[in-house]
Structure 1
Amino acid sequence: MSLFVAFQRNDVRLSLRANLAARCAVGLARLLARRPPERIRAVLERLRRGVRPAGHEEAKDAYDAVLAVSLRCAGPEACLQRSLAVVLLCRLRGHWATWCVGVPKRPPFAGHAWVEAEGRLVEEGVGYDYFSRLFSVG
């Protein structure tokens, strides 16, 4: 979707259980990312029901876990799969981060997907006002 930041894999160590959960989230995100936007939104709307909002630190931990297990999600053009994997992993952990889709307010104008928690972007490297949100689930 976009070329914002070249992400690097992190050196987070995960337990076997956490590693498996992160890998499941990445795999599900890859499948979900191939669906049309309205289908993705409908699936996420259903999944978010009945769970509490994620704290920023919880969402960042999920983000770090996703990058620790997936080289694809660590790439510069993987914002859709990465953001889906993060919200799915948050859901597996019993909370929900806000999944957002939009465009930057300044060129280059390209679609981008990201995660927010407690009103803050999770590891995007830009300010909160950088993106114009088209829709969100959270």
Structure 2
Amino acid sequence: MKVRTAVLAALLLARMPPHRIRSVMRLAAGGSRQAEYETADAHYRAVAAAGPRCAGWRGCLPRSIAVALLCRAEGRWPDWNVGVRRTPPFAAHAWLEAEGRVVAEPGTPTAYGVLIHVGAADVS
């Protein structure tokens, strides 16, 4: 139930303009502690399995939002990022990082160019 609620909220948020999504994510991240990789990874897999809208490259924005919200429900927050992949195929992408690692996706943090970032340490 918690996963489906997070996915529904994420699908609604993903339709908003980028500046509004960023504002909501900053508000959600407030007062949280950094998420652990294993927790973020488990939530990622649960969200990806929840339905086709959050699977694959096209589902990256709602998937990343849903995973971040699930982490936040436990008082934690991963680094939530929106930007571009720097390696082919080049494309817009949203992803999460925890403990300095990209959560459940190929590559290292340097494989992505960040345009929007919301981390636990960024808000108070």
TM-score when normalising by structure 1? 0.81
CA gap of 1:133–1:23, structure 2 versus 1, over 3 A, is same
- The equivalent residue for 2:61 is 80
Q: Quote the offset at 1:127 in angstroms.
A: 2.6
Correspondence for 2:94 among 110, 113, 120: 113
Question: Is 2:50 aligned against 1:69?
Answer: yes
Task: Give, in whole Å, the separation in 1 of the partners of 2:33 and 2:108.
Answer: 25
Larger radius of gyration, structure 1 or 2? 1
Match 2:80 to one of 60, 83, 99? 99
Q: What amino acid sits opposite 2:63 in the alignment?
A: R
Residue type at the aligned position of 2:98: A
Identity level (%): 50
Higher relative helix content: 2
Q: Output the CA distance in 1 between the equivalents of 2:46 and 2:86.
A: 29
3-state SS of the aligned residue for 1:106?
Answer: coil
Q: Give 4+ residue runs of structure 1 displaced > 6 Å after superposition.
A: none
Q: Distance in 1 between matches of 2:95 and 2:21?
A: 14
Instruction: Find the aligned partners of 2:88 and 2:55 in 1 and give their Cα distance.
Output: 23
- Offset, 1:58: 0.9
Structure 2 CA distance for partners of 1:74 and 1:107, relative to 1, 3 Å? closer
Distance 2:90 2:49 in 1: 29
Listed as ranges, the gaps of 5+ residues in structure 2 are 120-124
Greater mean alpha carbon deviation, residues 56-65 or residues 32-41: 56-65
- Within the candidate set 37, 43, 52, 2:18 is matched to 37
Rounded Cα–Cα distance in structure 2 between residues aligned with 1:113 and 1:25: 16
